[in-house]
Every structure is written in C-alpha cells, then in structure tokens.
Amino acid sequence: MKHIIRLTVAALVLFAALPLYGQATSAAPVGEVMYSLPVTSVTFQVDAVREDFIAGPYAEYAKKYMGSEARKENGVNYYLKSIKMVPYLEADPSVRLSVNLRKGSAGSGFLQLCSQGLVVASDSYTGKTEVWRFPSLAGNDQFAGKDVEGNITTATTTLYKTVKTAKGYEKVAVSQSQVVEKSAEKKAAETAATIFKLRSMRLAIVTGDTDATYSGEAMDAAIKELLRMEDEYMSLFYGTTVESVQTMNFDVVPQAKNKEHKYVAFRLSDTEGLVPASDLSGRPIVLDLELDPKSDSPEAAAKGECIYYRVPRTATARVFDGAQMLLQTRIPIYQLGETLVYPVK
C-alpha cells in the first residue's frame, strides 16, 4: 500500500512540546523538535451511476400499436460503479511529543523513522484532494423533434350557412379546412407505421428484394442507419435512459474503542445517490476490519530520553453492500498497533 507522508524541516518546530503522558509545557526547549505518531485514515473514492428513465410520450399507446406494454412513469435509479480504497497517514492530533536532536546521534535515527512512516511531522497532512461531482439531471426534452410527420395536420369541418332562395331560406353545407395540432394518438399511429416500414426496408435489404444492390460496407451502413432510426422512434413508446456519474470521497478513521471494527463508510440512497454515513436515507456500505493476531512480545520500557514510534497492526479490510462483498485487501493501521521506544543515544 502506498503511504503518503509530507515532511518539512520547518514544520517540525512549530508546536509546543507535549510529553506522551505528561503535562503540556509552554514552549519547547532549544534544540528540541516536535513530532506526532501516525494515524491511518481510509479514503474511499467512489463512483455511482445515476440512471434517469424518461417515459415515452406515446407509452399509453404502446400496447395498441406495438403489441406490448410500456413503462409510463419516470424514475431514477443509482448503482455503484467502482470503489477504490486507499489508506493515508496523518499526524495523530491527540499525541504530540518532543525530542532533542542535538544529543548523540538522534538526528539520523529520527529522520530514518520519519522516512519509514513510524513518526510524522506534527503538521503532516496527506495532501489528497477532495472530489465532489454531482450527476447532471436529465430533462424531459429527450424526445423533441422525433415525430415522424410533424406536429400539425389539416382538419376539415362542415359548417352550414343560411341562403335565401326562391323557395325561401335554406341551409347550405360549406366545407372549411384549418390547421390543427395532431392528437397524441394520431402521432403514435404514424410513428408505429414508420417503425414497421423501417423493418420492412431492412428485411428487403438483407434478402436482396430491392431495386438497389447492397453489399459489403454499404449493406452494413444501411442496416445500422435503419436500426438507429428504429431505436429513435421506439423510444417514443418505450422511453429512454440517460446515465451520469456521481463521484465522491469518504473517509473512515478506525478507532481502538470500536471493538468489532465495523464502520459505515458511506450510504447509497435511491433518490440522492452517494450520501454520508450519517444520512440514514440510504443503505449502508460497511467497512469490516479483521485484525491480524497481536504480537506477544512485551513492550520495551522507556529508559532515559527516547523517541516514541508506532508499529502498525495489519488488518484484512472488506467492504460489504449488504451480504455482497465488494472488495477485499490488506492495510496497515497505525493507531491499532503498538507504541514502542527508540533510544536517543
């Protein structure tokens, strides 16, 4: 696993000295540097896909003209696309220590411990970036302009007017034409007729029952274009699905007080997608840590001035969505390991 540690010489002398289990002092003596013990935080980089289903405008006529029922209501669905779990090192804010590097050969040993990630600068930070990308909302204009023969038609109505004749007043029929908007059912019938016409054309090309001759790339291109047009018109009956990706980061810091070492990393809501663990509207995605057996060797006693450092405890990390395991890997967790001492001289 990749551990990200940032060490700067200036950062080592910025904070007041705090012994491991003692009282805070007002200032660090000259020659002493400040450091902290490492803490492992687990970052989840998650991608979820949002599916927006938009019902077709002619869905209620699908059974009549196409022979099968169509979904009539719009809907939103989320599902997990990918999860990446990355452990990072951070400075433990609850433990801050000091060491005098002018005595003996402590300097080289201290820097070696820093390079191994066993101690970190008191202001160390992983430097990872937060990525928040929300899915775009699909509009209901997905079907605009897909009508086969336009949106208007000519309607003829019969009117009557009274005309004076030699026999008196009589009613005479007069035909009047006007442009009106087509009904949804009429447009559905025209679309269905076009779909069946496209299918007939495709069959004629495949069987060679056409005046033109298609072969090779020309036949392939013609078939693909007819299929594309058919799919476009079919969506007017059976709707369309628009996908977008939601990307978010979530952090979990394992705690020694959590004896079962089960953590809700984040949640997946049916309507909001990826949400924090505190949002109970979504189902939980759980991080389960199985710790390796602890070492039976006794901890070394501190004699004189020492450098404290931590040896991490390795755990098998599993991520579950209900009963389904999404991923498994092994990661070192410093705060669940042992605190040991390194002599200054």
Q: What is the tens place of the pLDDT at every residue in 72-85?
A: 999 999 999 999 99
CB 83 within 8 A of CB 328: no
Task: Tell which residue, 46, 49, 243, has the closest CA to residue 131.
Answer: 46
Task: Give me the half-sphere count of Cα atoms (radius 13 Å) on the Cβ side of residue 243.
Answer: 8
Comparing CA positions, the residue from 73, 61, 70 lying closest to residue 192 is 61
| pLDDT value of position 113 | 80
pLDDT at residue 275, as a whole number: 94
Tens digits of residue pLDDT in 278-328: 999 999 999 999 999 887 666 656 566 788 888 899 999 999 999 999 999
pLDDT of residue 148: 57
What pLDDT score was predicted for residue 268? 95
Predicted pLDDT at 174: 60
> Mean pLDDT for the chain?
78
CA 45, 50, 51 angle in degrees (round to 5)?
150
Per-residue model confidence (pLDDT) at position 100: 76
What does the pLDDT read at residue 104? 56
Task: Check residue 180 and give its pLDDT.
Answer: 59
For the chain, residues with pLDDT lower than 50 are 1-26
pLDDT of residue 177: 61
Domain boundaries, the chain: 10-45+82-137+244-343, 152-238
**pTM exceeding 0.85:** no
